Amino acid sequence: MATYDLEEQEQIDALKHFWRDYGRLIIAAVVAFIVGVGGTQGWKHYKRTQAEQASLEFVKLEEAVGKGDVNEIRNVAQDIITEYASTAYAQMAALVVAQTEREAGDLDAAAQRLEWVVDTARTEEVQLLARLRLAAVLLDQDEYDAALQLLDHDVTEAFVGAYADLRGDVLVAQGKAAEARAQYEQALEQSRENSAWRDVVQLKLDALSSE
């Protein structure tokens, strides 16, 4: 039988007491750690699977848009928004169906979709696009002050021209020609040479100059 000196025996006795008092807590902590690691991997797998499934549904949405089937667009988009709300495809689907509803004259429905995207967007670019489109819907509804309030927002360089252009449209609707002209000029500065959008902005400026 192995023999131990007093110091070694005291260490063993202390270890026995420690394990008796805290052993269950240690086991529980280890189990929780293992489960946590497994849960993290499981969550990553779930998120990846959700994104893959959502992408397949989004292909169906694009096909519905190609056919111009308004009801199918609404149904497929709603499925994506409901079933895959945690993915970026949900916001993209909401943008698509909002555009469809605006073109169909259902401005209230379009506004609700876009408000949801503004509130839930995962990237700044998507949120800025949703704000821009929502402001356009508000302009259609003659809600000029609300539209300008939405457009009074810091934007990335890619959106500076588009926001200025739409502000110009709202100001024209309000009868503020001078202020609108300044916005169109800013939009023109941000436009690319020989772009179709630049030509449209120039036409708006020319129309103001002829008044």
**Domains of the chain: which residue ranges?**
21-153, 155-211
Number of neighbouring beta carbons within 10 Å of residue 138: 22
The pLDDT score that the predictor gives to residue 211 is: 63
CA count, 13 A, side-chain hemisphere, 124: 7
End-to-end, the C-alpha distance of the chain in Å comes to: 110
- In this predicted model, what pLDDT tens digit does every residue of 52-100 receive, in sequence order? 888 888 889 889 889 988 899 999 999 999 998 888 889 999 999 999 9
- Rounded mean pLDDT of the chain? 82
> What is this structure's pTM?
0.74
Given a cut of 90, whether residue 209 has pLDDT beyond it is no
- In this predicted model, what pLDDT tens digit does every residue of 134-165 receive, in sequence order? 999 999 999 999 999 999 999 999 999 999 99
The third-level CATH classification (topology) of the domain covering 21-153 is 1.25.40
